[in-house]
Amino acid sequence: MTTPDPGATTRATATERRSSISLTQAARTFTTRPQPWLLVAAVAIAVTARGLHGGYAWSDLYLVVGYLAAWPLVEWVVHTSLLHWKPREVAGRTIDPLVARKHREHHVDPQQLDLIFIPVPALLTVAAGIAALVWVLPTRIGLTFAVVATTVGLVYEWLHYLVHTDYRPRSAPYRALWRHHRLHHYKNENYWFTVTTASTADRVLHTQPDPSDVPNSPTARDLLGTGGR
């Protein structure tokens, strides 16, 4: 895969100058990485456990709807505060989480396949957190939470991966996501933080300006501005 012009502006038109791949080809490559399989396994376990437990109630639906409504904000907060974390000195030690380091590498080369996916240690940490919530919450609620959280995680991993491939947008909703995320990578890293939605949290939190009003950022590919050092 080739890298689009880093000076791309409002339309990220580099895709029109590259050969495209089919959705089947994209899916085939997606399944070669461990993260999707870990997420599929997590979804299967959660769905099976929830089905065996039974006892559905309206509160299950409320939880699902609430989670989905809150997700764009959660995604925005994680992206801005954790993925774009800058190394800090605390008590003589440098605090620089793995996910932040990997995300900086991802910005350097947005189409490097291994850097598109959530790092496995981070994925396992999140899985442990979900398992802890299942343990401490009422079982029915905890298992419903596990189902929606793992499913949304799998959808996130797929959409984020797909946007960074040479698969060309065909539907209007996907085209909006594609354009939104590529503006973040190739236009200006200080805006357009959501990945699985467009015109949601970014619009509310004023990080979705008109691209024509935003200058191309010299640090979109070098988040710390170190010139690769």
Q: Other C-beta atoms within 10 Å of 188: how many?
A: 20
Of residues 121 and 3, more confidently modeled:
121
Of residues 12 and 136, more confidently modeled:
136
Domain ranges of the chain: 35-213
pLDDT tens sequence across 115-171? 999 999 999 999 999 999 999 999 999 999 999 999 999 999 999 999 999 999 889
Tokens encoding 35: 């993260």
Mean of pLDDT over the chain: 92
Q: Is the pLDDT of residue 193 over 90?
A: yes
Contact indicator for 173, 200 with CB cutoff of 8 Å: no
* Confidence (pTM): 0.89
The closest alpha carbon to 187, from 148, 152, 161, 213, belongs to: 213
Contact indicator for 143, 49 with CB cutoff of 8 Å: yes
Give pLDDT, residue 2. 39
Q: Is the pLDDT of residue 64 over 70?
A: yes
Q: Work out the percent of the chain whose per-residue pLDDT is above 70.
A: 90
- DSSP β-ladder status, 93-95 and 88-90: antiparallel
Burial 156-183 (b: 16+ CB within 10 A, else e): bbbbbbbbbbbbbbeeeebeebbbbbbb
Give pLDDT, residue 18. 55
Give pLDDT, residue 105. 98
pLDDT tens sequence across 70-116? 999 999 999 999 999 999 999 989 999 999 999 999 999 999 999 99
What is the spatial distance between Cα 210 and Cα 166, in angstroms, rounded to a whole number? Answer: 25
